[in-house]
Chain A
Amino acid sequence: MKRLLVAAAAAVVAGTIPAPSQAQPAGDPIRPIVLLTQPQAALPQEYQAAELIAAAWKQLGLQVQIRPLPSQQFSQIVWYERQRWDASTWQMVGRPERSDPDELTYNLFLSANIANGYNFVGYKNPEYDKLANAQRQELDLNKRKALIIQLQEMINKDQPYGFMVHPKNVVAFNRAVWDEKSVIDQAGIGARNTWTWLNITPLTAQKDIILNSVSVPTNLNPFNISGAQGSWAAEIVWDRLMRIGPDGLAKPWAASEVTRPDPLTVDVKLRAGMKWSDGQPVTIEDAVFSLVAPGISDKSPMYKPFVANIANVQATGADTLRITLKKPDAAFLVSSLSKLNLAPKHVWEPIFESLKGKPETAESIMEAKPVSSGPFRLTKAKLSEEIVLEANPDHWAKPKAARWIMRIQPNTEAALGALRSGEINFLSDYNGDPQLLRDLAKSDPNIKMAEALDMGFKFIAYNNRRQPFDVAAFRVALSASIDRELLAEDAWGGAAVPSNSWVSPALAFWHDQGIENRVPGGSVEAAKKILKDAGYVLVNGRLHYPAGVKETTPAFQ
């Protein structure tokens, strides 16, 4: 008995048993938290991050269980069974049209999107809604920036997510084949982008860009949003009225001029002299058709949301058109005009007609020789082997390379070997250990590695609908306990930087500088204090709700 008392006293001194201050009244113990993620084999970085975070949360007195689920089941639960889960790893990927923060600002946290939109965590803040709508209607860039900064601060205070990191895009190319000065770094995308494909300059007789893809791209046509790799090809085969420039801002492309006389009107002047690959001229009717077609039926479901805000499109001259919007949309040039492909009316109007009354959509059409106007033309699409594009000699922005060949190589190590042996000269899709690539670049002077910060981010989604995540102080404490530097270095092998916002530091204009260092608290100890101040109590090492609060939420099964 004496020995037991001594041991107990020693434990109190060592802090393993709650000190007398924890005698304050407590509510129910918090149920074991289930943290969903994907299997280690599928997403090793996320899995390791989940382990590190679970360890930190356990120090707060929580019982945490990591539950890896296969990809489809994982998405099904998090996305469609929104009342069911506690917390989950998740990510938002970078895309050129996300260079404007509007899409994510609006979709991720607006309360209107809680039921089945992108606000899958169920964050509700009327003040946020007001400001998010205000930024969408604000056409003055600086005023809008101020609103976006304010919104980031608001989310920082409420922490509906536990932001983890912004990953880096890691690619490499052969600088004996390509002039490294001609490779362009696009903000938030990195070196693998449309501008590089157009500008990359050969140094030898090898004029083909030979890149790799670990996955098979999907069907290529102007009304189908292909997977990530398919999009690399689609973006240079079909022109758009505008393109996202290397600086992340929309610039006229197939349009020679784009003006906004008022918040609801966009005037477009089409570039002169453009031709389709079948020799016909690109007309203003083609441009009108391309903007209207996705919205007039359900035959282009993926592109339909991009034209949902268009009330009317009308040709106003031989080379001009006017778009009237239903409501003001500051990001329209980025999110829609830089996204919608120009499609030839003479080819696609009959196709849309023929699809009437059939279950198929325009997305399923695969032309043997697509008619396009972009800087490259599709000459071969053996989707499980390779896609071959040839430079369009008639294009006003004619590429310097002769061909763009994407090889499908599911084996990452083999792709790395192919870069060394010269079979490919641009390693565009690499999901292996970044250190291996760094070592290769060090040992082989011909290999140039390019690391660039992505505009996407990885995070822990807290289900704001469910106890205990429905209380901001609790979420803030969880976020405060996450060591983001550790995640970036350990889980992502240095190929990531800490994150605390959906606006990546890669988008310097919009990013709230230094926000990653301003997570309230910022350490496990601070997190404990936040919890204590909010009334949470440690009883025998287990975290309890504040006094009077009952656990009413069923555990995730």
Chain B
Amino acid sequence: MAKLLAERLGFLLLTVWIVTTVTFLLFRLMPGDPTLAYLSPTFNEETRQTLLVSFGLDKPLWQQYLIYMANLLRGDLGTSFLQRAPVVQILGDALPNTIILTLVSLSCAYAFGIVAGAFLAFHRGGALEGAAIPAALATRSAPEFWLGMLLLAGLAFQLGWFPTGGAVDPGSSLATFRQRIGSADFWHHLVLPALTLTLYLQGLPLLLMRATMLEVMGDEFIVMARMKGLSRWSIVMRHAARNALLPVVTAFALGLGASVGGNVVVETVFAWPGVGRVLVQAVQGADYPVAQGAFILISVVLATMNTVADLAYAWLDPRVSVGARR
């Protein structure tokens, strides 16, 4: 297990290094330079050069790379070209909002998906299954922005039950994340983006759980449980569901990683101040340091969650680590 751990951590570091290097090159090799974002008739070449120097873009690419890697190791992601604030601070402000949105929607989606998947597997072939599976597939396939706009139109514009965007009311005095998370205002604003993501995400655990349950339900130990006269509830929840959960747990870990960067659309539709929105704004405004920082953060979280899923799988199912040693 220790060897596997070292091996996976090694892969993780390699992945992060490749991602950071590709991210660096990606932004530098794009046509145009960021001073173009500030074009004004009062600018002349001298002004442009001053801006390039202040951004550190006047240096050769390799020097920029060394400075970038050295800063990265110190946890310094640079300063935003547009907001002129440290990138760490910008991402640090956004990350908790993304985490809370991700955790709430993933938890709701997986809780619902697991229960509904188990239920549908147990009642296979019924009318309910006939309606539920297409519905789950439809919400899974529907674009997030479309789902979000539908919910906005119905629950915010028409009924006025929820706000149209943001994390708190305009001019709110709730300054810190801790103050916000303890307020009803914050949770009220969270409902629509979280509901959109939940609807979008629930299809996978539901279908996965149902498929695995169907497989498990045919196993001999379930037949044995039936022969022992155990109740249906006990067979489903204590025996079948527990054994069917393994791939769903793995999917949850991967989903957690992917959602940190995958909430871009929902965060934009609902003006939710998370990492995804920061990334969109940075790319639109050619704000290299922020875009780089956001990409790196998302990649690190995703790679880390992949590693965690790998290790968890190996821990839960020893055959995986045995396979790795072969």
Contacts and interface: CB of A to CB of B under 8 A. Distances in A.
Given A75-B32, A76-B32, A423 B163 contact: yes
A305 B40 CA distance: 11
Contact of B271 (A208, A360, A361, A410): A410
Q: How large is the interface on B (under 10, 10 to 19, 20 to 34, 35 or more residues)?
A: 35 or more
Interface string A406-445: 0111110111011011011000000000000000000000
Interface string A500-543: 00000000000000000000000000000000000000000000
Nearest to A297: B50
Interface stretch (A147-155, A217-225, A457-465): A217-225
A405 B170 contact: yes
Contact of B170 (A215, A366, A423): A423
Contacts of B83: 216, 218-219, 366, 383-384
A118 B41 contact: yes
A413 B53 CA distance: 40
B54 A361 contact: yes
Contact of B32 (A72, A301, A409, A414): A72
Contacts of A225: 38, 40
Contacts of B53: 359
Contacts of A384: 83, 90, 93-94, 273, 277-278, 281
A489 interface: no
A224 B84 contact: yes
A306 interface: yes
Determine which residue in A92, A108, A304, A365 has the highest number of CB atoms from chain B within 10 A of its CB, and name it: A304
B318 interface: no
B121 to A, nearest CB: 39
B286 interface: yes
A224 B277 CA distance: 24
B149 to A, nearest CB: 7
Interface of A, helix, strand, loop or mixed by DSSP: mixed
Interface string A179-220: 000000000000000000000000000001010000110110
B36 A301 contact: no
B41 A104 contact: yes
Interface string B50-72: 11011010000000000000000
Contacts of A73: 30-32
B116 to A, nearest CB: 30
A99 to B, nearest CB: 14
A351 B270 CA distance: 38
Interface string A62-91: 000000001111111001000000000000
B269 interface: yes
B32 A386 contact: no
Contacts, number: 161
B47 A421 contact: no
B54 A364 contact: yes
Interface string B21-44: 000000000111100111111111
B132 interface: no
B10 interface: no
A278 interface: no
Interface in A79-119: 79, 92, 103-104, 107-108, 116-118
B82 interface: yes
B36 A79 contact: yes
Q: How large is the interface on A (under 10, 10 to 19, 20 to 34, 35 or more residues)?
A: 35 or more
Contacts of B268: 410-411
Interface in A349-383: 359-361, 363-366, 380, 382-383
Contacts of B157: 417, 420-421
B50 A301 contact: yes
A355 to B, nearest CB: 10
Interface in A317-349: none
Contact of B84 (A215, A359, A364, A415): A364
B33 A76 contact: yes
B85 interface: yes
Nearest to B163: A423
A335 to B, nearest CB: 9
A72 B30 contact: yes
Nearest to A74: B32
Interface in B276-294: 277-278, 280-281, 284-286
B290 to A, nearest CB: 10
Nearest to A358: B54
A28 interface: no
A9 interface: no
A213 to B, nearest CB: 10
Contact of A413 (B31, B41, B152, B170): B152
A532 B30 CA distance: 44
A424 B41 CA distance: 33
12 contacts: A71-B32, A72-B30, A116-B45, A225-B40, A305-B44, A360-B54, A366-B83, A382-B273, A409-B164, A414-B152, A417-B153, A420-B157
- Give 8 nearest A-B pairs by CB, closest first: A72-B32, A219-B84, A76-B32, A73-B31, A305-B42, A417-B157, A364-B84, A75-B36
Given A75-B32, A108-B41, A363-B54, 12 more contacts: A70-B32, A73-B32, A216-B281, A301-B54, A359-B54, A363-B84, A366-B83, A382-B93, A385-B167, A411-B270, A413-B152, A423-B165
Interface of B: 30-33, 36-45, 47, 50-51, 53-54, 56, 79, 82-85, 90, 93-94, 149, 152-153, 156-157, 160, 163-167, 170-171, 175, 268-271, 273, 277-278, 280-281, 284-286
Interface of A: 70-76, 79, 92, 103-104, 107-108, 116-118, 208, 210, 215-216, 218-219, 224-225, 227, 298, 301-302, 304-306, 359-361, 363-366, 380, 382-386, 388, 403, 405, 407-411, 413-415, 417-418, 420-421, 423-424
